[in-house]
Amino acid sequence: MQRTTHRSLLLARPVLVALAAAVALTATSCAKSEDDASDGKKSTAAADAGQKVAKPKPGSKTCTVDAYGGKKIDLKSATVGFSQSEKEANPFRIAETQSIKDEAAKRGVKLLTANAQSQFSKQISDVQDLLAKGADLLVIAPLNSDGWDPVLQAAAAKQVPIVTIDRKINATACKDYVSFIASDFVEQGRRAADQMIEATGGKGEVAILLGSAGNNVTTERTKGFKERLAEKAPDLKVVFEQTGDFTREKGQQVTEQLIQSKPGIKGIYAENDEMGLGAVAALKGAGKKAGDIKIVTVDGTRNAVQGVVDGWISGVIESNPRFGPLAFQTLDDFTQGKEVPQDIIIQDGAYDDGNAEQDLGKAY
């Protein structure tokens, strides 16, 4: 897709120190940090109550408004449009939207929001509406990774820069969108496998409740999980995989089928907390006791972390939804002409029986 490049700026290339500043994110930390968790040590002390810092993905290229073909604007006088993908029944989405709203309010930036209610066709029309309403900049939390061309063309025609958060769109950075800010979903899968190996002793049969199809989160969380099992616990076999569409209802339905068809299943990896909580409901309904089947989930919602405290869930890998500060910092730096990373990784914590109780209040 061609973009007219308006070289409206003679930019001194900002030094990389501006880049480092652009990705500093201060947020209330909630669980043991990725570094602690990666060595597999149980967290005994409270998680670092300090800061969580996002970082440019190793090897990330940068983008400037000049290279992108945008125009320099003052964020304070701009209108930002935010497109949320899924209905806000899922605490991940509630927290994600709230983070965007809080940061806009903190910065005094006018914000327009839309929610696609988990319907991709609606998300496309939502973004078209945001452009029609005069959004100067867009932050998009995509439902799917493909099918974005109409939006990219419409935004480019109006020279409206896009920052994508959370899930990836299959397009070109610093051309179709400025930056992509997200968790490392493959690493989340690896860390979930570590917790599953610990919970099950590394032997037996496990099931995966897959996320919804058509996005990178599901494929990458599955990839990381399977890679780690093969690497560290080849006797822990995945014998069942079925999507629960990232919803609690479907997660419960699929788990009810699972325990009928695989009565010897030892563990369930749910690719998000909502499905994991659905699995807990199914096990309770089948008369199982807490811990009979080990459950590991991803997100870090309050109910799932309570499930760790109650013994129904063995571990939760956080998927940090607090994109607000980082998304607006990226927009601010970009519109001022600074270099911004094309790929930014937000740091995630984790919960297990070593820290869930003391850190419960920090889950979302």
The region that residue 264 occupies, defined by phi over 0 for left and psi between -120 and 50 for alpha, beta otherwise, is: alpha
Q: How far is the CB of 182 from ligand GZL (least distance, A)?
A: 7
The owner of tokens 């600074």 is: 338
Beta carbons of 326 and 344 less than 8 angstroms apart: yes
The DSSP-derived string for 306-361 is: HHHHHTS-SEEEE-----HHHHHHHHHHHHTT--EESEEEPP--EE-TTTHHHHGG
Q: Does 272 contact ligand GZL by CB under 6 A?
A: yes
| Sign (positive or negative) of CA dihedral 244, 182, 95, 64 | negative
Binding mask 185-204 for ligand GZL (x = CB under 6 A): --------------------
> What's the min distance (Å) between Cβ of 251 and ligand GZL?
11
Output 86 or 339, the one with its CB closest to ligand GZL. Answer: 86
Q: Smaller CB distance to ligand GZL: residue 60 or 297?
A: 297
Q: What is the 3-state secondary structure (H, E, C) of 39-105?
A: CCCCCCCCCCCCCCCCEECCCCCEECHHHHCCCCCCHHHCEEEEEECCCCCCHHHHHHHHHHHHHHH
Residue with tokens 């930390």: 29
Q: How far is it, in rounded angstroms, from Cα 295 to Cα 270? A: 7
Among 92, 312, 328, 364, binds ligand GZL (CB under 6 A): 92
> What residues from 38 to 77 belong to the interface with ligand GZL (CB under 6 A)?
none
Q: Among 289, 307, 288, 287, which Cα is nearest to 297's?
A: 307
The β-bridge relationship of strands 340-341 and 62-63 is: antiparallel
Check residue 166 for interaction with ligand GZL (CB under 6 A): yes
| Residue closer to ligand GZL, measured from CB, 218 or 342 | 218
Contacts of 338 (CB under 8 A, 6+ apart): 14, 18, 19, 22, 64
Task: Supply the minimum distance, in Å, between the C-beta of residue 299 and ligand GZL.
Answer: 5
Interface characters, 213-242, with ligand GZL (x: CB under 6 A): ----x-------------------------
Instruction: At 113, list the tokens.
Output: 């929001």
Q: CB under 6 A: which stretch of 16-24, 55-63, 86-94, 349-357 binds ligand GZL?
A: 86-94
Which two tokens mark 363?
A: 């889950």
Answer yes or no whether residue 319 interacts with ligand GZL by CB under 6 A: yes
3-state secondary structure of 239: strand
CA angle (48, 23, 274) in 5-degree steps: 60
Could you tell me the smallest distance in angstroms from the CB atom of residue 79 to ligand GZL?
A: 25
Please select the residue that binds ligand GZL; options are 90, 123, 222, 330, rule is CB under 6 A. Answer: 90
Among 34, 86, 220, 359, binds ligand GZL (CB under 6 A): 86
Binding residues for ligand GZL, how many (CB under 6 A)? 13
Q: Which is nearer to ligand GZL, 90 or 335 (CB)?
A: 90
Site for ligand GZL in 244-263 (CB under 6 A): 246
In the complex with ligand GZL, the residue whose CB is nearer, 65 or 100, is 100
With contacts defined by CB under 6 A, name the span among 85-93, 130-138, 193-201, 277-285 that binds ligand GZL: 85-93
- Regarding 123 and contact with ligand GZL (CB under 6 A), the answer is no
Residues in contact with ligand GZL by the rule CB under 6 A: 86, 90, 92, 166-167, 183, 217, 246, 272, 274, 298-299, 319
